[in-house]
Amino acid sequence: MTSAARTLVDLCRELPELDAVATLDRALLRQQVDREQLELALERARFVRGTPLAGRAVERSDGRSESWLETAWRVRHVAAGLPEPELQVEIWAGGQLVKVVDGWLGAQAMAFEGDGKVKFTDPYGGKDPAEVLWAEKRAEDALRALGIRVLRPTMVDVGSGWEAFRARTVREIGAPVPALQPFTAVPRATGRLRPATSRG
């Protein structure tokens, strides 16, 4: 068992649930630990106070979430009893990759994009913010042209505005699926590691 897995389990016994899951998501994304190591650490700490809390965090963690915002949206979405989304799904049409969406409900043809402000105000890789925003708009337009609905949870939506966003999601899930153009949805096995930001 690695010391990283043991340290993470110790942290998750004390942290609030969302922070615990986000911590695990980040560690899994960075390949600092794997799920088998976390399970072993849980087993060895099974008689320690708070281990059941850590176990729930491990169960809910997913290294395909690429930011705190994506984790927060996923945790709240699933806790609300909404259909569990597939994460990091490639949408292909006409032999071209249209976009990789952060969350995907295939039965409803709904995509979720959890992009914080930093993606557009301070993008990494020396990209121009205006170009990033324009590319994002074109990609979303292409998704909508296929009939795919796109919801964009924000930091407010996963916090004080959650009830309104949840209600909107429920309405969209219950609405008839629009006429769809041919496309293929391909889940990725891993997330993409990007520079750390402050919950962006």
The predicted-structure confidence for 48-102, as pLDDT tens digits, reads as follows 999 999 999 999 999 999 999 999 999 999 999 999 999 999 999 999 999 999 9
Residue in the block written with tokens 């087993």 = 43
Instruction: Give the distance, in angstroms, between the CA of residue 60 and the centroid of all CA atoms in the same chain.
Output: 12
| Residue at 157 is within a domain | yes
d(CA 44, CA 2): 12
Q: Do both 42 and 139 map to the same domain?
A: no
Residue 115: its pLDDT value, please? 76
Which whole number is the average pLDDT over 99-113? 98
Total structural domains within the chain: 2
Q: Do both 178 and 81 map to the same domain?
A: yes
Residue 133: its pLDDT value, please? 83
Q: Is the pLDDT of residue 197 over 60?
A: no
Q: Give the lowest-confidence range in 17-21, 30-34, 71-75, 120-124.
A: 120-124
Q: Do both 101 and 31 map to the same domain?
A: no
Read off the pLDDT band of 127 (50, 70, 90). Answer: confident
As a three-state string, the secondary structure of 81-136 is CCCCCEEEEEEEECCEEEEEEEEEEHHHCEEECCCCCHHHHCCCCCCCHHHHHHHH
Q: Do both 115 and 134 map to the same domain?
A: yes
Q: Do both 46 and 139 map to the same domain?
A: no
Beta bridge partners of 101: 89
d(CA 72, CA 80): 12
| Residue at 121 is within a domain | yes
| Residue at 200 is within a domain | no
| Residue at 197 is within a domain | no
Give the pTM. 0.87
Read off the pLDDT band of 128 (50, 70, 90). Answer: confident
Task: Provide the CATH number for the domain around residue 116.
Answer: 3.40.960
Q: Which domain holds residue 127?
A: 71-187
| Residue at 167 is within a domain | yes
Q: Do both 78 and 169 map to the same domain?
A: yes
Q: Using alpha carbons, select from 76, 41, 44, 72 the residue that is nearest to residue 58.
A: 41
Beta bridge partners of 185: 91
Residue 1: its pLDDT value, please? 47
d(CA 51, CA 162): 28
Residue 159: its pLDDT value, please? 96
Residue 96: its pLDDT value, please? 97
Q: Is the pLDDT of residue 196 over 60?
A: no
Sign of the C-alpha dihedral, residues 187, 193, 194, 200? positive
For the chain, percent of residues with pLDDT exceeding 90: 83
| Residue at 177 is within a domain | yes
